[in-house]
Amino acid sequence: MPEPMGFYTDTTVCIGCKACEVACKNWNQLPAGGGGDWPMTGDSYDNTRRLDGIHWRHVKFIEQIPEDRSGGRWLMMSDVCKHCVQAGCLEVCPTGAIIRTEFDTVVIQSDTCNGCRLCIAACPFGVIDINPASNTAQKCTLCYDRMQAGLEPACSQACPTDSIRFGTIAELREMAEARVAQLHALGEKRAYLYGADETIVGGLNSFYLLVDEPEVYGLPRDPQLPSRNLLPSSLISAAGAVLLSLLALVGLRKNRMDERAASDGGPRDA
Amino acid sequence: MAECHPVAFRWPMKAKVEHDAKLIHVDPRFTRTSAMCDIHAPIRAGTDIAFLGGLINSVVNSERWNTDPFFREYLLNYTNAAALVDPEFRDTEDLDGVFSGLMEYKGNEADWPYDGFAGSYESDTWQYAGWRQEEPGEPRGGEELSQPTRVETQAPTSRGESFDSVIRSLRRPPPPRDETLQHPRCVFQVLKRHFSRYTPETVERVTGCPRETFLRVAETVLANSGRDRTTAWAYAVGWTQHTYGPQMIGCCALLQLLLGNVGRPGGGVMAYRGHASIQGSTDVPTLYHSIHGYMPAPSALKQHGSLRDYLATEGLAEGYWANMPAFIVSYLKSMYGDAATPANDYGYDWHPKITGDHSHMPMFVAMAEGRVKGMLCIGQNPATSINASLERAGMRRLEWLVVRDNFLTETATYWYNAPEIRDGTLGPADIPTEVFFFPTAQVAESEGSFTNTQRMLQWHFKAADPPGRCRSDLWFTYQLGLRLKRMYAGSPLARDEAIRNLVWDYEPDHPESIPGEPDARKILREIAGFRTGQPDRHLAGPDELRDDGSTTCASWIYCGAYPAPDRLLPGSREPDPPGTVGAHLGWAWAWPDNRRVLYNRASADPQGRPWSERKRWIWWDGSRWTGHDVPDFPERKPPGAAARRNGIGLDAHSGRDPFILKPDGVGWLFNPAGLLDGPLPTHYEPIESPVRNALYRQQASPVLKYWKHASNQLAVVGDPRYPYVITTYRLTEHYLAGAMSRWNPWLAELMPELFIELSPELAAEKGIRNTEWVRIETPRGVIRAKALVTRRIQPLRLGDRVVHQVGMPWHWGWEGVVTGDVVNTLTALVGDPNVSIHEGKAFVCNVERG
């Protein structure tokens, strides 16, 4: 078995060039939003809007510039599927189309996806959506096809500043911790890793170095898996079943009484 | 740089992450580059010389610069700081913003009234003392500190002899010097006075950059320069595209020389070019005013009547340019082959001579007046270029137009789809031009070379055949040449000899998959040189060139790129091993002679020792120059060698003169020759500005170029109708006029619409909300764009007034997957006098909602 593989994204060196987005689309042959011609959003330099079935990489732009312009920051971050160690999408997929690969990544197999959308709702990061070209749920595969051939994913290979790093999770964590220590030493005390350990859904195989709260980057502070609701929802289901049985009994009894009334010469259709 | 050169920006980021390098960004806007930098210094567009001049003033008055012996040693030995300037020279300090010699422009009005000069300088007073052309037998400089002497003839050098006497006649005495740097006319004192008014207060008032930010930049740059550290400056067209663009870059070079940051690793002034292989297109020029290797184009307006006259006018006896006879004879041999003989001046008379400014802007003005018959437009989109309406008016008067591009660009469809056609002002029937469109191959569909900004030639191999009948530019040019030669083959006219004798021999030895495609390697062989008559004996470097016709080489600077038929060095891909300090000499090939840092003799001290262990690059090992790079210096010339009295070429230089192309062997703080708009950079306002020049009475460059035309009106200074400064730029997501990006849906979706960036303050004043439509107007025209309201744009405080700036990317047009108005509708035909670069970065406009 190969070691778990993934991405480490150092957002402090992301220059927002979107080469990752284009390389991803090129390799995976994903169509452009609106055929390329759609309205600008006015949300800084972000016109990708969000991750979805045809945008598997999304560079976010966060302008933090005070009115007096002192100490302004323009944060950029290339977002992607987190390839969670405990993957909600995989839990809920009814057809088994979502698998965990030998690299510990999470991949949707298009040929067995029936487009039921359960995984879309189950992802706490809002990563998955339907690709209208295939009408199935799609997201980043961490370039499973390239990895099987011993190649680096298209996005990290295209990244000019090495903001996106690809490698074994162990290597990446070591690299990321060293970078956090370096930034702390340089006075950037806000630097921390998001998803590098088990605290977030068992660990993210695509984790981040951030310099602000997760919410600033549109990331959940405490993402929850669908299985979190397993016990309460099963209790509700059980209670519902009991209630339905009772209603059914009542219904059956009524039917019988109606039948009896009919055979007694009540009004009937011809 | 992160915005427009994201791939190259890998290296500054690596320096930042791995070596804690400090990054500074000086720019009107807060861009993706600013986001990565330790300091962002906002300035009003077009005020860079005020900012750089402020840095110069602050450096020369700083304690460290005046006490650290490194700076003085570098300054005295490697720059012209000690040289004395002509006694008649008058600075902008003396003449309130102009230099001595300003006069009316007298050009070639009759034949070519399109040169556009507002004025011109008689620049002889800008020279070194004693260098002015005087009556014969009257040596100058008798009162100078060191007595210049007249030149005596010297034994011929080893090169061919025919032109030696011309070059030798140009020998001048070394300029008189004051080693104490106290003489009021020494370069150092002149420049110190010149920049003395560029105080931090003035910088703030002119540029709008807060004083504290400016001072932080000054301190950081100085702290990172010296024996053990170097500072590098990088710029792109944000510096070049001004009426004083070359002066901005010169101003930075001046600062870098003062700081000892030239010729050393991690130093320099680095140009990030506007287009892939733009470096190549100036080396092997598509420019009108130079021929290969930066030799001036022969001109009908100068003393260029014969090859000898040309050399007497353009040649130099001192420094490496003394080899110009060998360069130009080898060039003429590449043009005319066997027909070029000593008897006919190697075909010099067949060479075209320029009759004025034939660069982009004057050509379109001439076109608009019906003076241009046809145009070949290859990979350019003038229908959306500077003052686009005027350029299209020019194109409408052409008889024929050939457009070669990947897509039907605006230039190919201007006659049926331009705004003036769509709004009914004109119809296609009003335009007599016959337009031919040729679909072209992409770069990966043919073989060839790129030259990048590091002067590095990188060969690219063909990956696939082009689709259908798309053909490479090489194919087109070769086929056009073949047809022209066939057409003129039987002509008895003398004027057609140039075409008849032109060497056009690039037929591949082995059949190509595309019929008629020439052999790119044969073209490189002609550029890089071989022994005349023996095309398999390639040349190893420019030292092998001769002025007797025995060598054929189009470009002396590329000589050696292809030293043997089996050694295509631009195709070499051997980096240095990881973890070593090196110049990656096995990765492709850089001109000249594969040197990676120019003038790298300056990386060692005058005695030839590295300035510091950390900054070792090349050094004298006791018998020769050696190190990480190819020495840009005669390999065996010891540091202690004296300049030979009356020596020619590099013999005129001592063993400590690093700047081998300069006649005096040193870096020029003050330019005694070569520039048309002044020997020192001076802050002028852009021709359109909301404010008066706070430094001098002279408002704008007195010698800028402007083409008077009804469609090329300018706003007057402080015109209340156009109160805002506007700058234009590119985005990472798009490329130039869009032909290579707006047709690509993956790129188009990332930046689908034209927008104008403006501050929330201005937006509030004008009642404009984010993504609403805005009308932008200049005296040349009106366009519409969507508002992008952002604090990345900031109002600037200039003294007691606030000036708003807005910015627009200019990638759009009416064709492609995504379309938008043409931003160059707003720009004017104004330019710099040296190279006719246009002003595209600083002008004025109005914005209104709607």
Q: What is the pLDDT of residues B477-531, one digit of tens each?
A: 999 999 999 999 999 999 999 999 999 999 999 887 899 999 999 999 999 999 9
Query: B604 in contact with A at a CB cutoff of 8 Å?
Result: no
Q: Which residues of chain B are within 8 Å of residue A188 when distances are taken between CB atoms?
A: none
> Percentage of chain B with pLDDT > 90?
93
Share of chain B above pLDDT 70, in %: 97
pLDDT (0 to 100) of residue B148: 39
| Alpha carbons B789 and B807: distance in angstroms, whole number | 11
Contact criterion met (CB < 8 Å) for A18 and B30: no
Chain B residue with Cα closest to A16: B32
All residues of chain B having their beta carbon less than 8 Å from the beta carbon of residue A44 are: 790
Q: How many CB atoms lie within 10 A of CB B593?
A: 17
In which band, very low, low, confident or very high, does the pLDDT at B141 lie, cut at 50, 70 and 90? Answer: very low
On whether any CB of chain B is under 8 Å from the CB of A69, the answer is yes
- B740 to chain A, any CB pair closer than 8 A? The answer is no
- A48: contact with B, CB 8 A cutoff: yes
- Nearest by CB to A63, which of B42, B747, B790? B790
Question: Which of B30, B36, B787 has its CB closest to that of A15?
Answer: B36
DSSP-based three-state secondary structure for B625: strand
Q: Does A39 touch chain B (CB under 8 A)?
A: yes
B798-843 per-position pLDDT tens digit: 989 999 999 999 999 999 999 999 999 999 999 999 999 999 999 9
List Cβ neighbours of B672 (8 Å cut-off, separation of 6 or more): B80, B83, B85, B126, B127, B128, B131, B679
In this model, does residue A168 exceed pLDDT 50? yes
Distance set, CA B327 to CA A12, B354, B457 (Å): 50, 20, 20
Residue A255 pLDDT: 73
Chain A interface includes B6 (CB < 8 A): yes
Beta strand extents in B242-348 (DSSP E only): 269-271, 290-291, 295-296
Does A15 contact B at CB distance below 8 Å? yes
pLDDT at B397 over 80: yes
Q: What local confidence, expressed as pLDDT, does residue A236 receive?
A: 78
Count of pairs with CB atoms under 8 A, one residue in A, one in B = 127
Cβ-based contacts of A37 with chain B (< 8 Å): 745, 748-749, 752, 817-818
Sign of the four-CA dihedral B654, B660, B663, B665: negative
- Answer whether B749 touches A (CB < 8 Å): yes
B20, B42, B733: residue with CB nearest A18: B733
Phi first, then psi, for residue B476 (nearest 5°) are -65, -50
What is the pLDDT of chain B when averaged over all its residues? 94
Contact flag B749-A37 (C-beta cutoff 8 Å): yes
The CA distances from residue A214 to A58, A144, A181, A200, B703, in Å, are 16, 28, 19, 12, 56
pLDDT, residue A263, reads: 60
pLDDT value at position B735? 94
Looking at the complex, does the CB of residue A67 fall below 8 Å from at least one CB of chain B?
A: yes
What is the reported pLDDT for A230? 66
CB atoms B34 and A74 under 8 Å: yes
B771 contacts chain A (CB < 8 A)? yes
Shortest Cα distance, chain A CAs vs residue B739, angstroms: 15
B55-104 pLDDT, tens digit per residue, is: 999 999 999 999 999 999 999 999 999 999 999 999 999 999 999 999 99
% of chain A at pLDDT higher than 90: 81
Taking CA–CA distances from A31, the nearest residue in chain B reads: B746
Is the Cβ pair B791, A69 closer than 8 Å? yes
B373 vs B251, B400, B752, CA distance in Å? 40, 7, 37
**Closest-CA residue of chain A to B749:** A36
Q: What is the mean pLDDT of the segment spanning B439-458?
A: 94
The predicted structure's pLDDT at residue B155: 40
**B9 contact A CB<8A:** yes
A-facing residues of B in 795-834 (CB < 8 A) are 817-818
B202 vs A13: CA distance, rounded Å: 35
Q: Say if the Cβ atoms of A15 and B817 lie within 8 Å.
A: no
**Over 70: is that where the pLDDT of B160 sits?**
no
Q: Rounded distance, CA A249 to CA A251, Å?
A: 5
Report the chain A residue with the minimal C-alpha distance to residue B771. Answer: A42
pTM score: 0.93
Q: Which of A115, A38, A247 is nearest to B745 (CA)?
A: A38
Is B493 part of the contact surface with chain A (CB cutoff 8 Å)?
A: no
Q: Does B748 touch chain A (CB under 8 A)?
A: yes
| Residue A259 confidence (pLDDT) above 70 | no
Note whether A160 contacts B748, CB cutoff 8 Å. no
Please report the pLDDT score of residue B151 as a whole number: 40
| Amino acid letter, B414 | Y
What pLDDT was estimated at residue A261? 62
The per-residue pLDDT for A244 is: 82
Of A16-25, A172-181, A227-236, B553-562, the one with minimum mean pLDDT is A227-236
Per-residue pLDDT tens over the stretch B526-562:
999 999 999 999 999 999 999 999 999 999 999 999 9
pLDDT at position A243: 81
**Is-contact A11 A127, C-beta < 8 A?**
no
pLDDT-based confidence at residue A235 (cuts at 50, 70, 90): confident
